[in-house]
């Protein structure tokens, strides 16, 4: 069972069925999310490796009442975009949920930037609500909770489409 592929597919299916015209999905060059992108092409935005810009866009969208999900490799989204998370999202825009892929080391062979070891500490410093689902059902429940509220949230996912394990 490839946990990461199942979670990505679960996220794609969930997004394509979640009936909220104000929902945006921003990702950092992570998979294509074909169901959601096909159904809502203007609300599925790939920012490539520009995590800081992605975080500013998330804050701007949220400040206008939009719900935003930000998805990327563990470490990059919250580390590269930390100041933007602090200023653009937490202070000015609510309703942003960060989904951090591969937190448990599956990308470690790609270098130190792929290894998160301070995510909870940094999120707690900003009073961001943290979730760590261990199965698809819990993941969907966490996601629904996040989207129903106006908080800034952090969902930490494990193995994400990795070919190797340590």
pLDDT at res. 162: 41
The larger pLDDT score, comparing residue 19 to residue 47, is at 47
Q: What percent of the chain has pLDDT over 70?
A: 81
Q: What is the pLDDT of residues 43-99, one digit of tens each?
A: 888 888 888 899 999 999 999 999 999 988 767 777 888 888 898 888 877 899 998
pLDDT-based confidence at residue 166 (cuts at 50, 70, 90): very low
pLDDT at res. 106: 61
Q: Could you tell me where the beta strands, DSSP code E, fall in the chain?
A: 23-27, 44-46, 67-73, 96-101, 129-131, 153-156
Q: With 80 as the cut, is the pLDDT of residue 101 above it?
A: no
The larger pLDDT score, comparing residue 139 to residue 115, is at 139
CA 78, 86, 22, 15: dihedral to nearest 10 degrees?
Answer: 20
Between CA 42 and CA 111 the distance in angstroms is: 33
């Amino acid at each position: 069972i490839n946990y990461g592929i199942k979670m990505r597919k679960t996220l794609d299916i969930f997004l394509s069925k979640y009936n909220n015209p104000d929902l945006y999905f921003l990702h950092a060059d992570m998979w294509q999310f074909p169901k959601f992108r096909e159904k809502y092409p203007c609300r599925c935005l790939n920012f490539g490796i520009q995590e800081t810009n992605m975080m500013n866009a998330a804050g701007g969208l949220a400040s206008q009442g939009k719900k935003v999900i930000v998805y990327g490799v563990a470490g990059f989204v919250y580390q590269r975009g930390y100041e933007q998370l602090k200023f653009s999202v937490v202070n000015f825009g609510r309703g942003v949920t960060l989904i951090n892929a591969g937190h448990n080391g599956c990308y470690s062979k790609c270098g130190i930037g792929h290894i998160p070891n301070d995510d909870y500490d940094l999120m707690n410093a900003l009073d961001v609500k943290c979730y760590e689902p261990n199965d698809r059902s819990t993941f969907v429940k966490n996601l629904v909770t996040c989207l129903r509220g106006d908080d800034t949230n952090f969902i930490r996912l494990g193995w994400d489409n990795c070919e190797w394990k340590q």
